[in-house]
């Protein structure tokens, strides 16, 4: 196929054999968030470029080199969203739903776009489920976010394969003092830093902590630690969070190098990481961003949130073989009809059954075909039962009911009794 007719590198089709697992994952998360009292919000996929520059920060990887930015026909600079927090904050400000101090617990799902080097677990269009809470400033809500994800990993059967890493970045005042100390220390070791870190030292020094370069990492061993610069308020907040995680029994490790890629975090930051996916090990990440709403023109508003990468979590379910059996079967019953009269009767019968059993997954054979070919399709569909309408059944106004997975003999069921019979043998989702 010519290149122009292929999908863009790093942007994937999710094929029909993959969508059941995606829907299972998304459905599990949606139900959990409903149960904890979170409400869904849906934002556009495109925003003014300025929004991301203002919120994410000019000197972050995302804004410096990963955004899909273009001019629209009016000459406005637009960007495909690289993450969801900026648009969510814009939306709550625009609609005035946080300005009076109202608590909002929101979540969203959808595609995000970053021009990164595509590899396993890292794509240019990827999908996130994200969550943001506004106007709650205590550690109790930070804990709730983590507790919810912990429950999710449990429901999905992947709890043993993920680890929680925690850090506190403090208030902006304590972070400012820490930044000064870090810059002073790193400047004294300037020559031993890699080029990227030398540049970050000037633009965004905390990001040096995040380096993958071994020489720079060696320099960092003796660098000042954020934990020693936390003010009382940040320290109390962090202790409050840890106490709640301890109370619920959620294990964590403190990672003083965890700074997150975005500029807007303060106090709590966390990541759920796994060693099952190779280099792309972070499956969910978030933190508190109490300064962001004000930075974007709103009143001072506490905020905390996280985002999880759906591709990486789906990959984990596959890698750990945590795929529930029922999601692979998509048909309960397959109706085969032979001859024109039987086809008409079959259609009408199928609709009557659907009226009574709206959750039954009933597939009616299309494209006619011989006895043998229809049976083959019935079997291939994965259905538990085939329904058969041929000349004999038509004459007696019954339908043949044939178990396809070895649970007994074929029997005849009167048309009127079919729905009631199916209700007893098919567990409906």
Q: What mask of x and - would describe binding to ligand ATP in positions 34 to 73, judged by CB under 6 A? A: ----------------------------------------
Considering the rule CB under 6 A, would residue 343 count as an interface residue with ligand ATP? no
| 81 labeled part of a ligand binding site | no
Q: Contact at 8 Å (CB) between 45 and 84?
A: no
93-99: Cβ within 8 A, 24+ apart: 93/293, 93/296, 93/297, 93/298, 98/134, 98/135, 98/293, 98/298, 98/301, 99/298, 99/299, 99/301
Regarding 206 and contact with ligand ATP (CB under 6 A), the answer is no
Q: How far is the CB of 14 from ligand ATP (least distance, A)?
A: 13
Q: Which stretch binds ligand ATP (CB under 6 A): 88-96, 102-110, 159-167, 275-283?
A: 275-283
| CA dihedral of residues 60, 44, 12, 164 (deg, nearest 10) | 50
| Shortest CB 68 distance to ligand ATP, Å | 12
Least Cβ distance, residue 279 to ligand ATP (angstroms) = 9
Please indicate if the annotation marks 83 as binding a ligand. yes
Q: Contact with ligand ATP (CB under 6 A): which of 137, 290, 311, 332?
A: 311
Tell me whether residue 26 is annotated as binding: no
By the rule CB under 6 A, 144 interacts with ligand ATP: no
> 2 to each of 8, 11, 13, 14, how far by Cα in Å?
12, 17, 17, 21
Q: CA-based Rg of the chain, rounded to a whole angstrom?
A: 28
Given the complex with ligand ATP, which of 116 and 165 has the nearer CB atom?
A: 116
Q: Does 283 bind ligand ATP (CB under 6 A)?
A: yes
Separation of CA 170 from chain center: 27
Nearer to ligand ATP, 277 or 336 (CB): 277
3-state class of 133 per DSSP?
Answer: strand
Q: Is 130 annotated as a binding residue?
A: no
Over the window 211 to 240, marking each residue x when it contacts ligand ATP by CB under 6 A and - when it does not, the resulting string is ------------------------------
Instruction: Classify residue 57 as left (phi > 0), alpha (psi -120 to 50) or beta.
Output: left
Stretches 119-127, 238-246, 325-333, 370-378: which one binds ligand ATP (CB under 6 A)? Answer: 119-127
Q: How far apart are CA 184 and CA 226, in angstroms?
A: 14
404, with CB counted inside 10 A (0-12, 13-18, 19+), is middle
Residue 166 makes contact with ligand ATP by CB under 6 A: no
Q: What angle do CA 305, 309, 313 make, to 5 degrees?
A: 120
Kindly identify the residues of this chain, within the stretch 66-95, that bind ligand ATP according to CB under 6 A: 83
Q: In this chain, which of 53, 81, 105, 114 binds ligand ATP, going by CB under 6 A?
A: 114
Residues in CB range of 190: below 8 A, 6 or more apart: 198, 201
Is 325 within any annotated ligand binding site?
no
Of residues 21 and 349, the one with the C-beta less far from ligand ATP: 21
C-alpha span between 240 and 185 (Å, rounded): 31
**Residues forming the site for ligand ATP (CB under 6 A):** 83, 114, 116, 121-123, 126, 128, 261, 280, 282-285, 307-309, 311-312
């Amino acid at each position: 196929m010519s290149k122009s007719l292929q999908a863009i590198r790093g942007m994937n089709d999710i094929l029909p054999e993959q969508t059941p697992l995606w829907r299972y994952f998304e459905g599990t998360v949606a139900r959990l968030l409903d149960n904890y009292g979170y409400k869904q919000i849906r934002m556009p996929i495109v925003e003014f470029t300025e929004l991301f520059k203002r919120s994410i920060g000019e000197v972050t990887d995302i804004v410096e080199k990963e955004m899909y930015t273009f001019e629209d026909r009016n000459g406005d600079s637009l960007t495909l969203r690289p993450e969801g927090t900026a648009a969510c904050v814009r939306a709550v400000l625009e609609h005035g739903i946080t300005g009076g101090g109202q608590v909002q617990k929101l979540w969203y799902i959808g595609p995000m776009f970053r021009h990164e080097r595509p590899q396993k677990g890292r794509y240019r269009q990827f999908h996130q489920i994200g969550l943001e809470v506004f106007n709650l400033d205590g550690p109790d809500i930070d804990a709730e976010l983590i507790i919810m994800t912990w429950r999710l990993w449990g429901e999905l059967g992947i709890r043993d394969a993920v680890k929680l890493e925690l850090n506190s970045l403090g208030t902006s005042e304590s972070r400012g003092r820490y930044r000064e100390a870090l810059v002073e220390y790193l400047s004294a070791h300037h020559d031993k830093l890699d080029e990227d870190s030398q540049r970050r030292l000037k633009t965004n020094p905390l990001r040096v902590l995040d380096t993958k370069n071994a020489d720079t990492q060696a320099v960092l061993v003796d660098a000042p630690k954020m934990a020693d610069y936390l003010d009382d308020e940040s320290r109390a907040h962090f202790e409050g969070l840890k106490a709640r995680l301890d109370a619920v029994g959620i294990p964590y490790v403190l990672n003083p190098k965890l700074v997150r890629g975005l500029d807007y975090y303060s106090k709590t930051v966390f990541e759920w990481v796994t060693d099952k996916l190779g280099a792309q090990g972070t499956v969910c990440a978030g933190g508190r961003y109490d300064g962001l709403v004000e930075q974007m023109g709103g009143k001072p508003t506490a905020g905390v949130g996280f985002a999880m990468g759906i591709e990486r979590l789906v990959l984990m379910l596959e890698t750990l073989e945590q795929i529930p059996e029922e999601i692979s079967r998509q048909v309960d019953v397959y109706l085969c009809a032979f001859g024109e009269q039987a086809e008409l009767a079959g259609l009408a019968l199928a609709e009557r059954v659907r009226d009574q059993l709206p959750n039954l997954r009933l597939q009616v054979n299309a494209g006619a075909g011989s006895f043998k070919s229809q049976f083959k399709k019935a079997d291939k569909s994965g259905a538990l039962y085939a329904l058969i309408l041929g000349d004999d059944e038509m004459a007696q106004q019954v339908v043949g009911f044939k178990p396809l997975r070895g649970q007994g003999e074929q029997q005849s069921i009167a048309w009127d009794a079919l729905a009631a019979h199916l209700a007893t043998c098919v567990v409906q989702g």
